[in-house]
Amino acid sequence: MSHNHANPDIRLERPNATASVLIVDDDPQSGRFMLEALARKGILAYLVDDPTAAVEYVDQRVVDAAFVAAAIRSADGSATDGLLLLSRIRQIAPELPVIMLGTPEPTDDAPAAGLLTSAIETSVQAMRLGCCDVLPKPIDGRRLERVLDTYLPNHGVAKIAAAREGGWPLFEIVGRSPRMIQCVELAKRVAATSAPILITGESGAGKELIAYLVHHKSRRTDGPYIRVNCAALSDSLLESELFGHEKGAFTGAYARRKGRFETADGGTLLLDEITETPLRFQAKLLRILEQQEFERVGGNENVRVNVRIISTTNRDLAAEVEQGNFRRDLYYRLSAVRLAVAPLRQRPEDLGDLVWHFVNEYARETGRRITALDPAMMDLFARYHWPGNVRQLRNVVLTSLIFGVGPVLSLADVSWLFDELQPRRQEAPHGSPAPDAPQVNLAGIPLAQLERRAILDTLETTDGNRTRAAEVLGISDRTLRDKIKRYRQEECLQTT
């Protein structure tokens, strides 16, 4: 939904938008141009000419970027210096990208209104105040497109499930792999029940996303969703944190305090990493699951609740039971419904979508316009085993965005990541010759293409060490640097 105090007829609804921006401008022509350009990109826009309303939008954190006109004249005739508004926005949200639109025209009352009449001075001051870019009027469509791609990347990705509220995503499960699709479909089917659910999977695979999906699709969606990281709580704090305590129950208990179970009444309680809980606590948990009541620490009053329990674990819970680390009766009670989240290495179809998803999420912070993914990087990603799963992939993409340059996302400028991402090579048994490499027919392939492939493959085998790669190739470091620089320039030309 967009608002314009000068023209209340302007209204834009994009419930499926992946980003939202604020436009502060009193020029109906440029405002309409901006709205149409943003609509084509699937971006939700709020158009206002009132600086007070603009500050409210920013303060409520409902926008991902702001376009502010250099001079704004409200419906009541009052004039506002866009630089003053820019300064105010930067105070409220220092990380919000702000782009200035146009420059103030010289007028008789400009000095009285405090407006600058020099376009150059305005641009310089705007950049000093933290403005990301300046778009002169009339706005050039291609330049606006580049700004949007830089600060509001909106590359298309496949989403298995997603939900938004108030313009902000509640959750997004990105991918297209059959394993993840099946997991999501099963989660939706069991969401309508109140049965306890056990979600298994490696750390970083997305167990908590599935848990929130269950809550959102359940009849408890309007109730609270409370998460407890069991691994982060000591044995002594776990019971007080989950069950609450009475005044005077222990030193420092100066007042009665509700626990997470009581807070989650009518909703869902996520017990993250349930295997980290002690056996004594597991006995109390079993009673709650069966009777939906408990006593606060230091009290004797039964507290009744109606809570749906979702548990997660990155361990083999059946093995934990056999080793005596987890109660068998609780295991059967929790695992009536089991959902398994596959590790990232078992769903390679999701890699491309996840990389673009993280580019959409983090590219604006780094101010990079990413138009393509380096094929060599994606090939390395496909062969890597990803022990940290999606969480690790997110960190790798973020690091590449921060330290890389140009419109192609690659690992060329973060060579230390090669040590981490390089697949382990299989060594031949001692005394046995290594298996022969497969023979490849190179006939008809241009020499320039062969040279490029040889350089990139050698860099990969040397873990990104350019000095070693140059020695293997029999060329100087300078020659290697020049060739890599030329390859990047060619990539930039291909993506512009």
- Domain CATH code at residue 471: 1.10.8.60
| Domain co-membership, 380 together with 296 | no
What mean pLDDT do residues 460-479 have?
71
b/e 148-162 (16+ beta carbons within 10 angstroms → b): bbbbbbbbebbebbe
Specify whether 310 is located in the same domain as 360: no
Residue 286 to residue 289: CA distance in whole angstroms:
5
How far apart are the two ends of the chain, measured CA to CA in Å?
Answer: 33
pLDDT band per the 50, 70, 90 thresholds, residue 149: confident
Confidence of residue 56 (pLDDT cuts 50, 70, 90): confident
178-185: average pLDDT? 95
How does the average pLDDT of the chain come out, rounded?
A: 79
Query: 310 falls in which pLDDT band (50, 70, 90)?
Result: very high
Q: 58 and 16 in contact (C-beta within 8 Å)?
A: no
Q: 194-231 burial string, b = 16+ CB within 10 Å, else e?
A: eebbbbbbbebbbbbbbbbbbbbbbebeebebbbbebe
Give the pLDDT score at 15.
36
User: Within a domain: residue 171?
Assistant: no
pLDDT of residue 452: 74
Q: Residue 11 — φ and ψ, nearest 5°?
A: -150, 135
- Which 3 state secondary structure label does DSSP give 452? helix
How confident is the model at residue 423, as a pLDDT?
58
C-beta separation of 85 from 68 below 8 A: yes
Given 317, 341, 365, which residue is the final one in a domain?
341
User: What's the pLDDT band for 429 if we cut at 50, 70, 90?
Assistant: very low
pLDDT of residue 439: 42
Tokens standing for residue 8? 């209340």
Radius of gyration of the chain (CA): 29
pLDDT band at 79 (very low <50, low <70, confident <90, very high): low
279: three-class secondary structure by DSSP: helix
In this structure, the answer to whether residues 453 and 476 fall within a common structural domain is: yes
Contacts 24+ apart (CB under 8 A), 300-303: 303/244, 303/261, 303/262
pLDDT value at position 434? 41
What does the pLDDT read at residue 78?
Answer: 59
pLDDT of res. 8: 34
Name the token pair of 185: 């479909």
In tens, the pLDDT along 85-117 reads: 888 888 888 888 888 887 644 445 444 444 444
Residues 313 and 366 both lie in one domain: no
Taking residues 346-361, report their average pLDDT.
Answer: 94
Domain boundary among 326, 341, 356: 341
The CATH number of the domain holding residue 275 is 3.40.50.300
| Same domain, residue pair 84 and 117 | yes
pTM across the whole model: 0.69
Together in a domain, 466 and 365? yes
pLDDT (0 to 100) of residue 197: 95
Question: 355 is in which domain, residue-wise?
Answer: 346-426+441-495
Span 216-226, mean pLDDT?
94
Higher per-residue confidence, 216 vs 130: 216
Q: Which helix (H) or strand (E) holds 59?
A: helix 51-59
134 sits in which H/E element:
strand 133-135
**147 domain residue, yes or no:** yes
325/353 same-domain check:
no
